[in-house]
Structures are given as C-alpha cells and as structure tokens.
Structure 1
Amino acid sequence: MDMNAYLSMFIDESNDHLQSLNENLLRLESAPEDLSIVQVIFRSAHTLKGMSATMGFEDLASLTHEMENVLDLVRNNKLKMDGFIFDTLFKGLDALEAMVQDVVGGGTGKADVSHIVASLKAIVSGDYKTAASAAGAPVGAGTGNAVNAGGAEAGGMELDQFQFSVIQQSMETGHHVFHINVKVREDCMLKAARAYMVFELLERSGEVVKSEPSVQEIEQEKFDRSFSLYLITQKPMDELKVQIENVSEIESAQLTLLDEESLSLLSKPSRPEPAAARREGDGKPAADDNKPRAGAAPQAAGGAVTKTIRVDIERLDVLMNLFSELLIDRVRLEQLASEIRRGDLTETVEHMARVSGDLQNIVLKLRMVPVESVFNRFPRMIRDLAKTLDKKVDLVITGAETELDRTVIDEIGDPLVHLLRNSIDHGIETADKRRQSGKPETGTVNLRAFHSGNNVFIEIGDDGGGINRERVLATAVKNGVVTAEQGKTMSDEEVYMLLFAPGFSTAEKISDISGRGVGLDVVKSKINSLGGAVSVQSQLGKGTVFSIQLPLTLSIISAMLIKLGSEKFAIPLSSIMETTIVRREQIHHIHGNRMIEFRGAIIPVVSLSRLLESPDFDESQETETEAVIIRKGDKWAAVMVDDFIGQSDIVLKPLGNYLNGTAAVSGATILGDGQVALIINPNALIK
C-alpha cells in the first residue's frame, strides 16, 4: 500500500490531535482531579499512536505509547498528577510536534527522545528520583512548581513537592542527605567558575536536589560569597567536606546531615495553581469542580452532524484566481451591455451578475478561517512564559470564532506572538508588585477578535503597569527618534506609537522573551503590509491595549473608482466615510498645512494629484473639488479627487517591486475596459 497517498491526511489529523492534547492538558493542569479530561487526552494520544504506527513513524508511536501508559495510570486512579508529570508530558508534546514538523518538511520523523521516554517510564515505575535525572532537569533548579509560604523549608531553602518526595524516598532507602553551605574567599575573582567546580565534584559523589540561589543565578554570579544546596549521597560527611574545601579559592564548607527528626519538621507542600488559560464565559479556571467548561462543546453527539471535507489549500487558490478573472470579464460585459443597450443582453448580463455575486460570496467564505486556528497556539505559550518569568497570568480569549481570509491568518501569527510576549514580559507585573499595588496576584491578558464593517479587529489587553509616557519619551529623545521640543507637544497616543519606531526598545536588558532589543517595528510593518493598522491605548498602573485593524480579505474588495485627469484609481470602501464637495474658500492654511472644517472637526486636506505627481490635474485651479473623507482609527482626512466613476468590486493584483517605494499605492486592479487602475492605501495618507 502506498502510504504517501495518506501522508497529507496523517499530517492534518496529527496536528489536530496535538492541538487537542495541548488544550486539554492545560485544562487538566487547572483541574488535576477531573478524570473526564484525562479520558479525552488518553483517546487523542491513543489515536495518534495508532496513526503513527500505521504510517511507520516508530519514534512518534513509541513516545506516544509511553505517554499513554502514564495517562492510563492517572485515569485508573493509580497515579496523581503533579508538576513534574505535567512538565514531562508537555516536553513529550513538544517533541511530538517537532517530529510531525519534520515529516511535513519531508523528513523521517525520527528524533532522540530517549531522555523523555526514560522520564515517562520512571513515572510509571514510581521512581521519581530516576525521573528527575533522566529528564535532564538543571541541577538544583527543581522540576515542579515552587511552594509559597507554608511549604517545606530547611536551612533557609524552600522545597517543592517533588524535591521533598525525592529526599524522603532517598532517606528511606539508606542514603545520606546533606544540607551544604559553601563560602568562597573574599578575594575570589571567578566565583561562578569555583561554584561550577563544586557542583561538578558533588555530582560525581551523588545528586544535587536544590540550590539557593538557583543554578542559573550562580552561573551569572548573582550571589555574594556563599551558596547552599541539598545533596543525596552515600559518601561520609568528613570526606565530602575535605574534597569541597580542597577546591581552589573555597574558604569553607559547612555540612549538616538531615535525619528523620529534621525531616519530620518538613511538611509536605501544597501545590499552587498554575498559570491558566480560559475562554470568556468560564468565569474562572475550572479547578474547583468537575463541571464542564461553560461554552465547551458537548462530548456526546446529540444534534445534527456537520459533514466536512478536507480540501488542498492550493486548489482554493486556483479557484480564487479563476474567479478573479471571471469577475474582470463580468465587469467588462456590464460595461459593454450599457453601451449597446440591447434588452435581452442587458437582462442576461444582470442575471449573470447576480449568479456570479452569489458565487463570489461562496468562494470568499471558502477562504475564510476562524482566528481560533491561530489563537489556539497561545494558551500553551502563555503557560510556559508565565512559568519562565515566575508570574501568574490568566489568558482570556474572546471571539475566537471570528473569521478572516486565510492569507491574512497565515501572516498575523508572528505579530500576535510578539505583542503577547510583550504584554507578559513588560506589561504584567510580578505577584509581589501586584500585591503592593492592590491588584490580584494573577494578571489577566485579554485576546479579543471582532468584526466591524469590512474589517476585523484583534485586541491584546493586559491589566499590568501600563506605559510610562516619560520613560518612552526619554528613550525616544535619547535615540534621536524625536527632539525634546517635539515631545512636549505630542499627545499620549502619539508618544505610545513611538514604541513602533525602528529599533526602539525600553528594555533595560535584552532577553529572548519579547523585544530581543528589536522593538515593535516588525509588528507594525507586518500589519501595514496586510493593509491594516495598529494603535495603542494605555493607562499608567491600569494596563495597555494594542488594537490591530485588518481587512477581511486581501483578494476581492469593494472600492470607489475615482479619476485624476486621464488616470483612474481605486480607494477601498472600508476606509471611506463619505464623499463631499470642497470649495476653495473652505480651505484654511494652519501652520503651513491645508485644513478644512468638517462636521465640527478640523481635518487635513490631502492632495492626491501632488502625492502621485499627476501632471494633468491640479485642484488648486478649481473653484470647487470633489473629495473623499477617509478614516484611520479616530483620525480623518479629506482626499481631493477630480471626479467619481462609481463603486465596483475589484480584484487585487500585487505590483511586485515596480512601485515598492510608493507607500500611497498598495496594489493594482484590472478594470472592465481592460485598463489598469492603481489601488490607493488610505492608511498611508493619514500620518
């Protein structure tokens, strides 16, 4: 049997199952006792294992099998979920996704997952100590969630649930557990290097369970002269003490043996709630009961089943291109029928226009994809980020069913990732700072999508510290983005938009979390290339909202056709508020800018002929001129034109590099008479 014929189906269904596993594992982390979620996860893992084995991807099948063994114990109440098990299962999911992506790229789907398999087998056998070692966890960094006040503590160091159980089991099996405090000499020049030598020595003698400060902080020399750790070993205390103090530039080593009495003083810690992701309508993470989530799809099939079919996206692209050509011919036929004025021809063309209009709606809907396909990636990302930054974050997703053109969906993923990372890193404060500000410890990030006219808006809002205007302005002046004099006259919104200037970053330290020292200019340039716009609103101490405006589709749009002399242009209707006539005496000159009063507001006048250097039209010679009122967010402008032709559906054609440097032009279209008309980008006309 030729498996290549089924490869596409395998990839699609594998991605669906992996997404389901990620989502449900996040739900289970918020409700570890809910066995109904475990059943859903187990079924997805079991199906994925069978598919992988059938297709001959043995590494995929074997890893999924080991994950299935763990889940089987959990669903039969033989194993309780904890932080270490969750982390190991998430690592397994990451490895599965990497292997599927390798298959997508034409690879064999093979990968070295022996360390994850060893961890999973150790969980099944109950040997947690082996599991920690096999998982490759950083020595002393811990593998579970850190406990709060009331957790296990000894020698000034807090232990999480997993570390406590490791020490307890080790003492029961006859191992020694030492609390060791190491002090380096005051004149030591390379403290991190000496600490590394101590850790290397101790790892040869046993297993380091926990260190204070953490291993990462010690490597970065973020400690004064001493550091502490727990060591499980068979070696005697005196021998260890001599070996440590023999390391160059180590001043002293104090070792304390933990016995059953000191162990009894350590109470088993309670596990804190993890960062959770929820949909609006849940009210809170479903950790308190076993009720299904509000708005969740029912498990039992009760209603009518929608029949679907998978279609290769390239076929949809071909269909759209063919329909685009049909649309151009339809407009041409309508023009010819109006010139010939023959009744039966006009009637036939009108009927064809109605049918092709219905066909157009169907073709466009075929290309529409819910933003849920992008949003579903973010709960897992937020969970991992919150854990990395030691913050508590709740992601609330609203409007995931909102639909966008596939070409737009493919492009917005990276900008949204950047903005979400920015909100978690720079927006949401640490739990301590939030408590001091009188806020809940858990910060909230809202990801919202909704339709408005011919546009889709996506908002990323947080209840963090907000944007500090003075800090942004000072950085902008320092980097030469604006002058100090310009900054004094700028509104808050204008200052916030400086965040999108090329190379702008307020980060005191470059990190891999959000900016990487690059800033948000990549977000703005990507959104602008899609014909969209981005804006910012913020309140210091209250939070920030980034709003992205995107067109519904990039293929076929409704536009107003206008003339400039002998040339024709198209302006998207989604940006036009209304049309009007402007008389010469209505135009005022304010600070060198031409302005008109329109509906109680003063708005700028844009000369399209000057901007596009049109030689055969100059509105300054006219006593009155037609104008199009366009809007970008809450900003308005009047665009002066020669004459209106009318409204029409147009097909967007890219220009390539021909007019790449002209921001006012976003593309071209072919009109019914065969002429080419340039498409104006209204967002570029309003600064």
Structure 2
Amino acid sequence: MEMSQYLEVFIEESKEHLQSCNEHLLELEKNPENLQIVNEIFRSAHTLKGMSATMGYEDLASLTHQMENVLDAIRNKKIVFTPEILDVIFLAVDDLDAMVESIASGGDGKRNVEAVVEKLIQIEQGNPINKTVKANEEEASTSVMESQQTSQEYDEFETTVLQQSSDQGFFTYQITVSLKKDCLLKAARVFMIFEALETLGEVIKTVPPVEELEEEKFDFEFLVTLISREPSDKIQKAILKISEVEKVVVHEFVAKASTHKETKQEIKAPEQETVEIVTPSLTEEKAEEKQTTSKVSNKTIRVNIERLDILMNLFEELVIDRGRLEQISQNLKDQELHETVERMSRITGDLQNIILNMRMVPVETVFNRFPRMVRQLARDLNKKIHLEIVGADTELDRTVIDEIGDPLVHLIRNALDHGIETPEVRKSRNKDEEGSVVLRAFHSGNHVFIELEDDGAGINKEKVLAKAINKGILTSEMAKTLTDTQIAELIFASGFSTADQISDISGRGVGLDVVKNTIESLGGSITIESQEGKGSLFSIQLPLTLSIISVMLVEIQEEKYAIPLSSIIETAIVHKDELMQAHNQTVIDFRGKVVPLLFLSDIFDVPVTKEEDAYYSIVIVRKGDKLAGLVVDGFIGQQEVVLKSLGSYLSSAYAISGATILGDGQVALIIDCNALIK
C-alpha cells in the first residue's frame, strides 16, 4: 500500500498532536498534581508514536516511545514530576517538531537525539521505586491473566448467546493472544486481530474490555471469546499472520451452566516477522472505527489550501463575468435577462460567502505557538510573565494568517524584552512581580483587530525623541510639535531601536519597521497607545480577506478608480465656497471636525478633460482616528471587485494597492487610503 498518499494527513495530525503536547505541558507546569493533564499528553504522544511507526519513521517513533515511558511513569506515580523533567520533555517535543518539519520539507525525519533520549532514560530508570513497582505490576498482571484464562465469566445474556450458538452448530473459542514485548503499536495490532477474527466469526467478549484494548490499557496479552464455524487451526493461522504476535492459545468449549469441554492448542509464531502496514490516522482512528456508529460521525475533511486557491481564482473570474453581464443587462434593458442576471448575482453572492468561509482559519493556529515561546523567553530574561489569550477563535483568511505570524512574534518579543520590567524593578514601582501580556483578537465590521497589551514600562518618549533626533529621523524643532501618539509611532521608523545593547530576544539592530511594512502590505494598519510606567497597546487592523473586496467606484476626469468601502465613512457634496485654508492645506468643516482635502486628480496626475464644476464630490475616508476627504469628479456606485496585483514592476506605485477588471473590460486602479493619510 502506498504511504505517500497519507503523508499530508500524517504531517497535519503530527503537528496537531505536538501542539497539544506543548499546550498541556504548560498547563502541567501550573498544576503538577493534575494527572488528567498527563493522560492527555500521554494520549497525544501515544498516537504520534503509532502514526510514526506506521509511516516508517522509526526515529520519530522511538523518541516518542521513550517520552511516552516517562509520561507513563509520571501518571502511575512511579516518578515525581519536577520542573527539570518538564524541561527535558519540552526538549523532546522540540526535537519531534524538528523531525516532523524535516518530513514536511521532503526530508527523512532523522535527527541526532541521543542527548535527549539519554536524559529520558535516566529519568525513567533513575528512581528505584520505578523498577520495583514495574516488576510487581508485571507479576500481578501475569497472575491476573492466568486466572482470566482458566476462569472466564459470562453474564446471563452472554451465556444465552453462547448456548444458542452451540445449538446451531457453532464452535465457541476462548483465544489468548500474546504480543511481542517490543511491540510499539499494540492498539493497531489489536485492531488487525479483530479485523481478522470478524471474517471468521463473531467476537462475544474480550478481557480486558474493547475500550481498554483500544487505549492500550493492557500489557501484552488479552483474551477474546469467539463463536465460529471455522476450525481452531484456521483461526490460529489467521492471527499468526499478523506481525508482532508472539503466541496464540485457543480453548474450545461448550457453553453450559457449569461444564467445560476443552481442547487446548498452543502455537508459537516463527522467528521472522511478516510485514503488515496499516493505513494512517491513523492507528487510533482505525481502532475506534466500530465506535463511530454510535457517536456523531465526523463531518469534516482536510482540503489542501492550493485547491482552495484554485477555487478562489476560478470564482474571481466568475465575479468579473458577473459584472460584465450586469452591465450588458442594464444596456439592453431586457426584463428576462435582467431577472436571470439578478438571480445569478444572488447565487454567486452566496457561493462567494461559502468560499470565503472555507478559507477562514481561526487565529488560534498562529496564537497557539506563543505560550511556549513566552515561557522560554521569560526564563531567558529572568522575568515573571503571564500571557493571556483572548478571542483565539476569531477567523481570518488563510493568506492573512500565513503572513501575520512573524510580525506578532516580533511584537511579543519586543513587549517581553523592552516592555515588561524585571521582578525587582516592578516591585520597586509597586507593581505585581509577574508582568501581564494580553493577546486578543476580535471582529469589527469587515476587519479583524489583533491587540497586544502589556502592563510594562511603556514607551519612554524622551528616549525615543533623543534617538530619533540622533538618527536624523527628525529635527529638534519638529520634535516639539509632535503629539504623544506621533512620538510613539517613531519606533516604526526604519532601523530605529531604543535598545542599549543588541540582543537575540528582540531588536538585533532592526526596528519595528518590518512589522509595519508587512501589516500594511496586507492592507492593514498598526497603531500604538502607550503610557509611560503603565504599559503599551499595539493594535493591528486587518481585512477579513484579500481577494474580493467591496468598493466605491469613482470617476476622476475620464478615469475610474475604486476606493475600498472598509475605509469609507460617507460621501458628501460641498460647494467651492465651503473650502477653507489651514496650515497651507485645503480643509472643510465636517461635522465639527477639520478634515483636510486630497485632490486625487493632482495626486495621480490625471489629464484634465472636463471643466471644473461649482461643487466637489468628496469621499470621507478614515485611517485609525485620522480623517481625510478625497476629492473626485463623480460617484459611479458600489461594486464587489476582484483585487489583482500590479506585479513586481509596478509594486512601488504610490497609493495604489492593486487593480480590478470592470464589467466593460476597463481596468480600475484600487486606491490605498492608508498610504494617502499620514
């Protein structure tokens, strides 16, 4: 059977299990007495081990198996859990993560993990109680199994079934199966044995119960009661074909109230193993297959993001054609055509929502890497820091999710290094020794906001100004006119850093300009609010999706432009007499606020072909708390358009974020309002 077809599933599920391990290990650090958390980590490690062995990644399976041994000893109270043990398990998870990443990038998943394996073995074997308890348990388990083999009990219902089967000519067998001691995939082997037995008869009872077998709550032996018309030797051979089965013992008996007629056969497996491959997910999913009929069936599937990209591209073409049909319908004024196009517009609108929702991914996929990172950085910096994550289920387009991770990492590192003070400094300032960092996400209109708030030292405005003047970013005279917000935003200047020493935690001589550029390239914006001594709040505004956007089409002379609706507050028409001059700039009084006007015909150097009117058409747009009025020659109307890139050659075009093809085949440039408002 080809394993390559399951590789993508294996990689995705492995990453999920490793992330689960990371999250639960962090919980365990806070609640070391909670063995339920250990069970969850053990379950993830166990599944990963089975999947790895099934796929043939033995190094991955071996390391996970070693980690599983330590977790098993902890949950069975053979080892006392300590922070040192937690550090070693974290190192093992890091190695496992690197191995999975190697496989994902086409590698073989091999890695030198001798150091961490040696530490895990020392932990497992270092406590004398471990060996004693283990030996006692094995002895007790053996005696229990022996007693089960000779005195298997059945309830009234099971006895009736067995007796009726015997009356109808069926044989009743008690089968004891022994797996090899080095078997890594006990649950998988159990499933394969059951699969083989069910082709020969019907399983009536197992010891231990099926649920415990699936969770590997047994050593290496288990007992199965089977009714079948097949002879015992055929049953034995069927089981012995399965690899890692060491021994099969069969008891045939007649089920009556108190009598047994037994014939015993025992066959040992040959030395060589038969290779058997199980379909991944891999082993655990197979073993649980029987239970799914009584549970809610899984109605989700994994879809490669490339397929969704292709689907989105095809739909974008459909949107362009839809716009063309709408225009043709308006020109021809045919009622039937108009109704058909209207219906098509509604259907494609619903289809668009479905496709966009399919591409939506919770920001949790980005956020869930940060708790572990914050823990490690806090230890490196000798600080006490509590990270709180709010709104992790907020959804964003996958293309945005892929790009937002690195900027957030940089902001968090910056908050931990420059923002949060050391416990001694915080104590001297009458603060809690443990600093607080809150990462939150929420929807607002057609945008998603991601905020990073800390209760640290805030931004030292004098230090920022001094550094900015020293770097030549602004003059001393300019510095006197800046507001607190404008001073805070100076840290986004290229190459700006207030760090006295370059460190590996944040900065490294590179400022936050990279963060700002990345966010603005996604059509978003970032703002800062800071109070010195109290903390800072970084707020990122991002569009829900980057592909299809709602715009207001406007005319500037003979040319058409599109302004994203997400930036527009409202439109207005003002008379020339209402224009005023302030600080060498044309402004208007808009609802009590002084709003500067930007003449787009001048900014984009549009050739003049029409005479000026006595009235100006104005689009009021917003960037954060700043407003501006864009002067245009006329409004065409609202439309959904496909955002197309201008390509690398025109990527530097000022205040233009892309272009779109209109229904009549014309190209309209999409205005970047964030670039226009300073």
Matches within 5 A, 1:192-203: none
Letter in 1 for 2:653: T
Cα pair 2:600 2:631 within 8 Å, conserved: yes
CA distance in 2, matches of 1:618, 1:72: 81
Match of 1:628, SS state, is strand
CA distance in 2, matches of 1:33, 1:663: 59
What residue is the counterpart of 1:122 in the other structure?
A: 122
Shift of 1:622: 3.2
CA distance in 1, matches of 2:558, 2:34: 70
Change (3 A) 1:427 1:605: same
Letter in 2 for 1:63: L
Matched, 1:623 2:614: yes
Q: Which has the larger radius of gyration?
A: 2
Shift of 1:566: 1.1
What residue is the counterpart of 1:96 in the other structure?
A: 96
Cα pair 2:549 2:640 within 8 Å, conserved: yes
Q: Which of the numbers 588, 598, 613 marks the counterpart of 2:590? A: 598
Q: Which of the numbers 555, 567, 571 marks the counterpart of 2:547? A: 555
What residue is the counterpart of 2:179 in the other structure?
A: none
Q: Which of the numbers 360, 366, 384 marks the counterpart of 1:392? A: 384
Matches within 5 A, 1:41-440: 41-126=41-126, 307-440=299-432
What residue is the counterpart of 1:9 in the other structure?
A: 9
Cα pair 1:500 1:520 within 8 Å, conserved: yes
Q: Deviations over 1:380-411 (max 9, x none)?
A: 00010001101111101011111111000000
Shift of 1:658: 3.4
Letter in 1 for 2:320: I
What residue is the counterpart of 1:537 in the other structure?
A: 529
Q: Deviations over 1:53-75 (max 9, x none)?
A: 11111111111011000000000
CA distance in 1, matches of 2:590, 2:338: 41
Unaligned 5+ residue runs, structure 1? 129-299
Cα pair 1:617 1:642 within 8 Å, conserved: no
What residue is the counterpart of 1:613 in the other structure?
A: 605
Q: Which of the numbers 616, 636, 639 marks the counterpart of 2:627? A: 636
Shift of 1:306: 5.6
Match of 1:646, SS state, is strand
Letter in 1 for 2:587: M
Cα pair 1:367 1:405 within 8 Å, conserved: yes
Letter in 1 for 2:50: G
Change (3 A) 1:518 1:302: farther
Shift of 1:663: 2.8
Cα pair 1:581 1:627 within 8 Å, conserved: yes
Size of the aligned set, in residue pairs, is: 515
Shift of 1:51: 0.5
CA distance in 2, matches of 1:594, 1:565: 20
Matched, 1:667 2:658: yes
Cα pair 2:567 2:623 within 8 Å, conserved: yes
Letter in 1 for 2:558: S
Shift of 1:79: 1.1
What residue is the counterpart of 2:28 in the other structure?
A: 28
Matched, 1:505 2:504: no
What residue is the counterpart of 2:648 in the other structure?
A: 657
Q: Deviations over 1:226-250 (max 9, x none)?
A: xxxxxxxxxxxxxxxxxxxxxxxxx
Cα pair 2:550 2:638 within 8 Å, conserved: yes
CA distance in 2, matches of 1:301, 1:441: 53
What residue is the counterpart of 1:463 in the other structure?
A: 455
CA distance in 2, matches of 1:105, 1:401: 28
Q: Deviations over 1:242-297 (max 9, x none)?
A: xxxxxxxxxxxxxxxxxxxxxxxxxxxxxxxxxxxxxxxxxxxxxxxxxxxxxxxx
Q: Which segment is superposed worse, 578-587 or 407-416?
A: 578-587
TM, length-normalised to structure 1: 0.74
Q: Deviations over 1:88-138 (max 9, x none)?
A: 00001111111111101110000000000000000011179xxxxxxxxxx
CA distance in 2, matches of 1:367, 1:682: 26
Letter in 2 for 1:666: S
Letter in 2 for 1:654: S
Match of 2:427, SS state, is helix
Cα pair 1:659 1:665 within 8 Å, conserved: no
Shift of 1:305: 6.1
Change (3 A) 1:302 1:508: farther
CA distance in 1, matches of 2:431, 2:497: 27
Cα pair 2:79 2:127 within 8 Å, conserved: no
Q: Which segment is superposed worse, 77-86 or 538-547?
A: 77-86
CA distance in 1, matches of 2:579, 2:490: 31
Change (3 A) 1:643 1:28: same
What residue is the counterpart of 1:681 in the other structure?
A: 672
Change (3 A) 1:415 1:558: same
Cα pair 2:492 2:512 within 8 Å, conserved: yes
TM, length-normalised to structure 2: 0.75
Letter in 2 for 1:48: L
Identity %: 60
Shift of 1:603: 1.3
CA distance in 1, matches of 2:576, 2:569: 21
